[in-house]
Amino acid sequence: MDKLIVEGGHLLKGSVNISGSKNASLPILAAALLTDDPVRISRVPDVSDTNYMLQILSQLGASVERSSGTVRIDSPDGISSSASYEQVRKMRASICLLGPMMARMNRCTLPLPGGCVIGDRPVDLHVRAIQALGARVRVKGGNLVIEAPNGLVGATVDMRGDNGPTVLGTDNLMMAAVLARGTTVIESAAREPEVVDLANFLNKMGAHIEGAGSRTITIHGVERLHGCQHTVIPDRIEAGTFMVAGALISEGITINRVCQEHLTALADLLVECGHTVRFSEDGSSVFVAPGTSPKGGKITTSPYPGFPTDMQAQMTALFSVTPGISVVRDTIFPQRFMHCSELKRMGANIKMDNGTAIITGTDRLSGAPVMASDLRASAALVLAALAAEGTTEIHRLYHIDRGYEMLDDKLLGLGAYVRRVPDPKEPAAQAI
Ligand code: EPU
């Protein structure tokens, strides 16, 4: 295992290129199982989560080739309908195999994902969706055992849960429905850009999906899907993380290969807090610089196009050194505040109150040994460390490697003082 040593206080400058989206790639890679033709997917980030997904696909019998960001997947007849706990437990997002496995084989055995540090993360909506298409679901030996001996049949399904729509649940239902008999209507569908990217990919494979990106998605089932070529959208959370870095400690940085439309909520917030945010005319790059008199702000996370839960930890790091009082509330994962206790070890003034963090900005954080607890919490610690006085050691770096491609190299390119070194005392990577 590695740790990251960050010497804080150096102004970032220059430009950085954003990778393809991790959260778009994962369901798209799983969707390759929907055809026995080869598919080619470009700009798949080389992060451990996409690698776990590719390992699971290989284990199921698909052949996988990867070269410089492009993945070719070939899933001939005879792939297995049963995924192993050893593979699945490494990544909760492996639940998105449920839809394609059911569509392709009308049965699957998928280990139930376990607990997770960012919250309870149930799968009841995934189960409800596949049952609505006529499947029978049992839990046996820690596995979801799902069967639809007569095939899946289209239905109208409302995907809203207590905390809003579900992203991977919407993905699963869409993937299950593309080969089902008849029409499926998803009500209260997630509108995230990653759902739209998956729908675009499926349509390239010959699916008939309308309305992705809106609250209602309609899928007309087809007989078979075919191979295609697809390029994954830019990672809006990686882009957002660098935008926060630009507002936090830089002479101004340019972030390339972004999609402006996907960054509206964050860009608006940074501007409201007094920072400079300037998109290029075509919206594919953005310049961000700290404001001369920045002020705190208020965030309540909500489903897209609202403020993303995956960006609240990074904003908490920025608010920790922004004058005034800021308030961060996460309605999607109300327990996702593990980063706060580590930020406090660096001198941040944060009070927790029932799913809300109240942050009083301090002049300067100070470097400290800290522990990453999940992907976005780690990103928050890296940001805090860049701005802190002195040296910070971030342990359990494997959390960041799950979703940020070459983060240390990209930061070095922007002039940060960061160094990845082995951390032999750390335990092996844990699932999230
Ligand atoms: N929920 C249920 N029942 C379900 C599924 C979800 O109650 O069956 C709840 C969740 O507990 C949560 C809310 O619904 O309160 C939304 O969760 P969602 O299902 O949308 O989360 P997800 O699809 O499992 C994806 C991203 C997460 C991101 C969330 C929310 C991927 C691989 N993961 O997870 O990304 O936080 O949507 O936007 O796409 C990350 O990248 O760090 C990450 C955690």
From the number of C-beta atoms within 10 Å of its C-beta (0-12, 13-18, 19+), residue 8 rates as: buried
Let me know whether 190 and 249 are in one domain. no
114 pLDDT higher than 80: no
Distance CA 43, CA 91 (A): 20
Ligand 1 centroid vs 156 CA: distance in angstroms?
A: 21
Let me know whether 142 and 240 are in one domain. no
What is the number of the ligand 1 atom nearest to the C-alpha of 309?
A: 36
Tell whether 366 is covered by a domain. yes
> Which residues lie across from 63 on neighbouring strands?
74
User: Could you tell me if the CB of 159 is within 6 A of ligand 1?
Assistant: no
User: Could you tell me if the CB of 135 is within 6 A of ligand 1?
Assistant: no
Query: CATH code at 57?
Result: 3.65.10.10
Tell whether 431 is covered by a domain. no
Q: What is the pLDDT of residue 427?
A: 62
60 pLDDT higher than 80: yes
Tell whether 430 is covered by a domain. no
Please give the structure tokens belonging to residue 318.
């920025």
138 pLDDT higher than 90: yes
Per-residue pLDDT band for 7 (boundaries 50, 70, 90) equals very high
Tell whether 379 is covered by a domain. yes
429 pLDDT higher than 60: no
Ligand 1 centroid vs 154 CA: distance in angstroms?
A: 24
Please give the structure tokens belonging to residue 316.
């908490």
Q: What is the pLDDT of residue 157?
A: 98
Residue 73: its H or E element: strand 70-74
Distance CA 366, CA 388 (A): 5
118 pLDDT higher than 80: no
Q: What is the pLDDT of residue 288?
A: 98
Distance CA 65, CA 158 (A): 37
Final residue in a domain of this structure, among 206, 231, 256: 231
What is the number of the ligand 1 atom nearest to the C-alpha of 332?
A: 15
Name every residue whose Cβ is closer than 8 Å to that of residue 230 and which is 6 or more positions away in sequence: 28, 39, 40, 41, 42, 200, 201, 204
> Which residues lie across from 217 on neighbouring strands?
186
Tell whether 428 is covered by a domain. no
Q: What is the pLDDT of residue 238?
A: 98
Q: What is the pLDDT of residue 115?
A: 59
Final residue in a domain of this structure, among 231, 262, 296: 231
10 pLDDT higher than 60: yes
Let me know whether 277 and 357 are in one domain. yes
Let me know whether 116 and 195 are in one domain. yes
User: Could you tell me if the CB of 377 is within 6 A of ligand 1?
Assistant: no
The single-letter code of the amino acid at 167 is: V
Q: Which residue has the higher pLDDT, 294 or 429?
A: 294
What is the number of the ligand 1 atom nearest to the C-alpha of 403?
A: 41
Mean pLDDT along residues 304-329: 98
Per-residue pLDDT band for 428 (boundaries 50, 70, 90) equals low
User: Could you tell me if the CB of 306 is within 6 A of ligand 1?
Assistant: no
Let me know whether 221 and 241 are in one domain. no
Can you state the percent helix, strand and coil of the chain, rounding each to 5? Answer: 35, 30, 40
Mean pLDDT along residues 185-194: 98
Q: What is the pLDDT of residue 354?
A: 84
Distance CA 100, CA 3 (A): 37
Let me know whether 14 and 31 are in one domain. no
Residue nearest atom 24 in ligand 1 by C-alpha distance: 168
User: Could you tell me if the CB of 98 is within 6 A of ligand 1?
Assistant: no
Q: Which residue has the higher pLDDT, 427 or 164?
A: 164
- How far are the Cα atoms of 96, 107, 148, 248 from residue 136, in angstroms, in the given order? 18, 9, 6, 51
Written as one string, the DSSP assignment of 190-243 is: ---HHHHHHHHHHHHTT-EEE-BTBS-EEEE--S-----EEEPPB-HHHHHHHH
Distance CA 60, CA 76 (A): 11
370 pLDDT higher than 70: yes
> Which residues lie across from 253 on neighbouring strands?
14, 288
Least confident of 41-45, 67-71, 210-214, 294-298: 67-71
User: Could you tell me if the CB of 261 is within 6 A of ligand 1?
Assistant: no
Mean pLDDT along residues 406-417: 98
Q: Which domain holds residue 98?
A: 22-231
Let me know whether 195 and 219 are in one domain. yes
Asked whether the beta carbons of 152 and 180 are under 8 A apart, the reply is yes
Ligand 1 centroid vs 212 CA: distance in angstroms?
A: 17
432 pLDDT higher than 70: no
Mean pLDDT along residues 82-86: 91
The single-letter code of the amino acid at 350 is: I
Let me know whether 252 and 210 are in one domain. no
Mean pLDDT along residues 26-46: 98
Distance CA 215, CA 159 (A): 10
Per-residue pLDDT band for 90 (boundaries 50, 70, 90) equals confident
Final residue in a domain of this structure, among 231, 250, 277: 231
159 pLDDT higher than 60: yes
Q: What is the pLDDT of residue 89?
A: 86
Tell whether 243 is covered by a domain. yes
In the residue annotation, 228 being an active-site residue is answered as no
pTM summary value: 0.97
Ligand 1 centroid vs 421 CA: distance in angstroms?
A: 32
Tell whether 77 is covered by a domain. yes
Mean pLDDT along residues 211-226: 98
pLDDT > 90: what percent of the chain? Answer: 91
Q: What is the pLDDT of residue 355?
A: 85
Let me know whether 273 and 399 are in one domain. yes
126 pLDDT higher than 90: yes
Let me know whether 204 and 246 are in one domain. no
Let me know whether 227 and 240 are in one domain. no
Q: What is the pLDDT of residue 116?
A: 64
Marked catalytic residue, from 116, 228, 259, 340: 116
For residue 160, how many other CB atoms are within 10 A of its CB?
16
Name every residue whose Cβ is closer than 8 Å to that of residue 73 and which is 6 or more positions away in sequence: 29, 32, 38, 39, 41, 54, 57, 62, 63, 64
Let me know whether 49 and 153 are in one domain. yes
The tally of domains found in the chain comes to 2
